Amino acid sequence: MARGTGSGHPDCEADGRTERNTMILNTSIRSFLHAARHLSFSVAARKTYISQPAVSARIKRLEEYFNVELFERTPAGLRLTAAGKVFFDYAQRLEQMVAEAERAVKDISEGDDVHLYLGANRSATSVMLPELLSHFGQTCPDVRIRTELQSPDQLLERLSYGFLDAVIVEQAVDEERYHVTPLLKDEVVIICLPDHPLADKGKITIEELCREPLVTNSPMSGTRQMLRERLDLHDKHDGDLNIIMELQSIDLVRQMTANRQAIGLVSRLVMSQTQGSENLVILQINDAPMLRVFSMITTHKSLERPNVRKLCEIASEIYDEDMLFRQTGTKTS
C-alpha cells in the first residue's frame, strides 16, 4: 500500500512511517506520540495531516479516558505531565511492538528473507550506497531492498522501533544497544576557490572561519553537527558564523562556493566523488581535523536476519576506515 493512500482514511500519515506500519495504533495514540516527541500540537497536526483542533480533540479523548492531564502549557511551551511521561513510555513500546508484530507476520507470509530496509543520510546515500547495493544485489538477487534518507537521529529512532534493518550514520552510538560495523573515515573540510585569500593557508582558524561568508548544508546535516561540536570547543555557536546560504545538497554547496567569493563546508568523502571538485582548494581547521566515521548500525535483533549479516559482511569487504585518506594521500592527524 502506498504511503498516504489505499484506505482513503483522513488519518493516513506521510511522515516516513508507512500507513501499514501504524494502522493498528489508535489514532489518538498516534497523535499523542507526535505531540510528545515534538512538544507541539501543530507539528503533530502536520505529521498526521489533520487540523490542530483535531489533534487537540484526540489528546482530550485520551485525557478523558485516563481521567488525567497528559500535557501542560507553560510560558516556555508545551510539556508532558508526570502522567504524560509515563504514558509516552508505554505508547512508544506499543508502537515498537506493533512494528515488530507486523514485520513478523509479513515475514511469515512473504518469506523471512524477501525484504531489507536500509537507511542512510544524504552523504552515504549519494556516495556509499550505489556500490554497496550493487554488490549486495549481485549476491542476493531475490531480496527486495528499500532505502530511506533521513537525519542520523531519525534513522536511529526508526531502527530502534524496527522500521529499518540497518542504517549508515556517522555519529557515535551506544554499542551495548546497537551492533556497530565501522566502514569509512571521513573529514568535514572547508573549500574555496584557488584565488580566495585563504586558499594558500592549508589550515584556517575558527576565527577566520567565522569571519568569511559561508555556504553550508542545512542545520540538521551531519556536517553542520560536526561544525557545531568544534565551535563549542571555542565557546562559539552557529550565530557567530557568517552564513549566506543553507542548502540541501553538498553538490549545490560546491557549486555555489565555486560561483561566489565564499567558503563552503563539505564532506571530503563527497568531494572525492564530485565532478568539478578539482577546481576547488580544500582547507582544514588548524587545531585538529574534523573527523567522523561512517558505520553500519544494526540492532542485535535485526542482526539475526541472514540478509542483514550479509549486508554487513559485504560493506566490510568494500570499505575500510582509512581508504579515503590513502586515496587522497591526506594525513588524518
User: pLDDT tens digit string along 218-240?
Assistant: 887 778 888 998 999 999 998 99
| pLDDT beyond 80 at 101 | no
Residue 123's Cβ-side half-sphere holds a number of Cα atoms within 13 Å equal to: 31
Helix 82-110 crosses helix 52-66 at what angle (to 10 degrees)?
100
Give the closest residue to 220 by CA, choosing from 244, 248, 242, 253: 248
| pLDDT beyond 80 at 32 | yes
Contact indicator for 231, 188 with CB cutoff of 8 Å = no
When pLDDT is cut at 50, 70 and 90, the band that residue 18 belongs to is very low
| pLDDT beyond 80 at 1 | no
Q: What percent of the chain has pLDDT over 90?
A: 40
| φ/ψ (deg, to 5) at 196 | -70, 145
What average pLDDT does the chain have? 82
Using alpha carbons only, give the angle 8, 163, 94 rounded to the nearest 5 degrees.
80
Helix 129-139 crosses helix 306-318 at what angle (to 10 degrees)?
130
Helix (H, G, I), strand (E, B), or coil: what is residue 128?
coil
Which range is least confidently modeled, 86-100, 124-138, 295-309?
A: 86-100
| φ/ψ (deg, to 5) at 50 | -135, 175
Tell which wins on pLDDT, 249 or 103. Answer: 249
User: pLDDT tens digit string along 52-96?
Assistant: 999 999 999 999 999 999 999 888 889 999 999 999 989 988 887
Common-topology check for domains 19-108 and 110-184+292-328: no
Question: Which residues, in sequence order, are CB contacts of 309 under 8 Å at separation 6+?
Answer: 303
Give the pLDDT confidence score for residue 56 in this predicted structure: 93
Class of 110-184+292-328 per CATH? alpha beta
Report the distance separating Cα 22 and Cα 253, nearest Å.
Answer: 37
Report the distance separating Cα 50 and Cα 42, nearest Å.
Answer: 10
Domain formed by 186-291, architecture = 3-Layer(aba) Sandwich (3.40)
pLDDT, mean of residues 144-157 = 85
User: pLDDT tens digit string along 272-293?
Assistant: 766 556 678 999 988 888 888 8
CATH number for region 19-108: 1.10.10.10
Report the distance separating Cα 298 and Cα 130, nearest Å.
Answer: 20
DSSP at 90: H
pLDDT, mean of residues 235-254 = 88
Report the distance separating Cα 66 and Cα 70, nearest Å.
Answer: 9
What residue spans define the domains of the chain? 19-108, 110-184+292-328, 186-291
Give the pLDDT confidence score for residue 327 in this predicted structure: 54
Contact indicator for 289, 187 with CB cutoff of 8 Å = yes
When pLDDT is cut at 50, 70 and 90, the band that residue 330 belongs to is low
Contact indicator for 216, 243 with CB cutoff of 8 Å = yes
| pLDDT beyond 90 at 109 | no
Report the distance separating Cα 196 and Cα 37, nearest Å.
Answer: 44
- Cell output for 21: 506500519
